[in-house]
A = this chain, B = another copy of it.
Amino acid sequence: MLTAARELFAEKGYDGASLRAIARAADVDPALVHHYFGNKEGVFVAAMRFPVEPSELLPMILETPKAELGEAMVRTFLFVWDDPERRAPILAMLRSAMTNERAAVMMREFVTSALLARAAGLRDIPLIRVQAAAGQLIGVMILRHVLKVEPISSATTEELVGLIAPAVQGHLG
């Protein structure tokens, strides 16, 4: 079923692949997909081995005071990226997206629908400002883990929080 889902996401993009179509491609009942993965987002997370459940992040986003959202976002990002096992599937997705237009569409739609737009909607922050904050984090992670530029590559978590949280908070505040 996850193989069918991966193929359908790659072919139709995230928004274009319905849970019903995934079930049809895998030749199973939609109720079964629903039972195992909850919704399309759950299927995507499992099929792409996406290392975070967006639905687990939502309570955190809702409970954090607005003045502390920047730091919380940086810590969440570092939690994912600084763990080699969580980082690997995200880097793989990003590599595909950079070299393959279909993978780029799929990642764009997932990042927008499941992550950024929802975070923006929850806290009533303009989407473009959430994207600017995400850009700060993505760029630092590329310098740290892909290009491995020093000294940012060996900075500690606390050093990075001190360095980046003010900029992220500036975007979200």
Q: Which of B91, B112, B139, B142 contacts A149 (CB under 8 A)? A: B112
Q: Is A166 touching B155 in the complex (CB atoms < 8 A)?
A: no
For chain A, what secondary structure do more than half of its interface residues adopt (helix, strand, loop), or is it mixed? helix
Contact partners of A171 in chain B: CB under 8 A? 163, 167
Residues on B with beta carbons closer than 8 Å to the beta carbon of A111: 147, 149
Q: Is A164 an interface residue (CB 8 A)?
A: yes
* Inter-chain contacts of A104 with B (CB < 8 A): 146-148
A-to-B contact residues, CB < 8 Å: 91, 94-95, 97-99, 104, 107-108, 111-112, 116, 127-129, 131-132, 134-143, 146-152, 155, 159, 163-164, 166-167, 170-171
